[in-house]
């Protein structure tokens, strides 16, 4: 058997791994990496918010993030140590970039901080739900399941804060509609700053599975294929966060 034949299955397997959604983490070390980095970002971004936020509700929310995520980070650190797993000591490049954006934001700080928190909690809930269901480490699965209600509570809190704010104008942040806004009849064109991972997460949270072939069109709308109720369908996500099937 030649080298090319031997490498073919490995190449195929690697391609399958790389095709998985970025937020899916069923092995212990990957979960710890993503959960720790996300938790660090929550704490560090909220420390900045304590200094720069204008709205007292945003300051209060930031303090709760520091407290709750600080406790969760400490618990994760302890569990990871017991399981002989490594814990990242600092955010990754993408989160560092977001922290720099917040640090360099002037008077309009509250809006981008809140939008970052909405996206961060969407990703965190997807990560923790996935690992609580299919993770490979019983202790970490229990941690993920125990932490989920707190993450969902945070999401409700930040959605309530966001509902009282005007639509985000910064093209560098996901401009998500407020919870009280009625859903339009179809995707709304506009500058869409959702990443592919965030777009996939929001589509899956809307009840779709097997999301694939996501691409942003000329109107700023993420379009792709998915499955819902056992049927294949096209799917779309606009810059406000509205999800539409059959588009």
pTM across the whole model: 0.62
Q: Of 142, 163, 184, which one is at a domain's C-terminal end?
A: 163
Count of CA atoms in the C-beta half-sphere (13 A) of 173: 25
Cα 71 versus chain centre, distance:
20
Q: Where are the alpha helices (DSSP H) in the chain?
A: 3-19, 28-52, 56-82, 93-103, 110-134, 138-163, 196-205
- The CA-CA-CA angle for residues 99, 100, 104, to 5°, reads 120
- Closest by Cα among 45, 63, 64 to 104: 45
Whether residue 175 is contained in a domain is answered as no
Q: What is the dihedral of CA 218, 230, 124, 162, to 10 degrees?
A: 60
Whether residue 151 is contained in a domain is answered as yes
pLDDT at 78: 97
Whether residue 7 is contained in a domain is answered as no
Whether residue 187 is contained in a domain is answered as no
145 Cβ neighbours under 8 A, 6+ residues apart? 128, 132
- The CA-CA-CA angle for residues 243, 244, 247, to 5°, reads 140
pLDDT at 5: 41
**Do 25 and 131 reside in the same domain of the chain?**
yes
Encode the chain (247 residues) as per-residue pLDDT tens digits: 444 444 433 333 333 333 333 455 678 999 999 999 999 999 999 999 999 999 999 999 999 999 999 999 999 999 999 999 999 999 999 899 999 989 998 878 998 899 899 889 989 999 999 999 999 999 999 999 999 999 999 999 998 888 877 554 444 445 555 444 567 888 888 777 778 888 888 898 888 999 999 998 888 899 999 999 889 999 999 888 889 998 7
Q: For residue 240, give its domain range.
A: 196-245
Q: Tell me the C-alpha distance between 217 and 148, whole Å.
A: 34
- The CA-CA-CA angle for residues 223, 178, 38, to 5°, reads 75
């Amino acid at each position: 058997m030649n080298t090319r034949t031997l490498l073919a299955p490995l190449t195929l397997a690697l391609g399958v791994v790389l095709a998985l959604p970025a937020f899916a983490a069923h092995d212990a070390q990957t979960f710890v990496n993503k959960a720790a980095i996300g938790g660090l970002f929550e704490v560090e971004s909220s420390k900045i918010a304590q200094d720069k936020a204008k709205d007292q509700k945003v300051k209060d929310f930031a303090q709760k993030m520091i407290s709750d995520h600080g406790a969760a980070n400490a618990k994760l650190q302890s569990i990871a140590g017991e399981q002989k797993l490594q814990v990242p000591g600092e955010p990754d490049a993408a989160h560092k970039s977001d922290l720099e954006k917040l640090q360099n934001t002037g008077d309009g700080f509250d809006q981008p901080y809140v939008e970052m928190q909405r996206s961060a909690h969407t990703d965190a809930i997807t990560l923790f739900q996935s690992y609580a269901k299919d993770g490979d480490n019983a202790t970490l699965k229990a941690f993920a399941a125990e932490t989920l209600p707190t993450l969902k509570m945070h999401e409700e809190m930040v959605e309530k804060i966001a509902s009282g704010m005007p639509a985000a104008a910064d093209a560098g942040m996901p401009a998500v509609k407020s919870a009280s806004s009625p859903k339009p009849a179809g995707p709304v064109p506009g500058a869409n700053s959702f990443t592919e991972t965030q777009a996939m997460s929001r589509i899956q949270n809307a009840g779709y599975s097997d999301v694939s072939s996501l691409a942003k069109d000329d109107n700023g709308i993420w379009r792709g294929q998915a499955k819902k109720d056992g049927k294949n369908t096209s799917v779309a996500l606009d810059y406000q966060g509205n999800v539409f099937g059959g588009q």
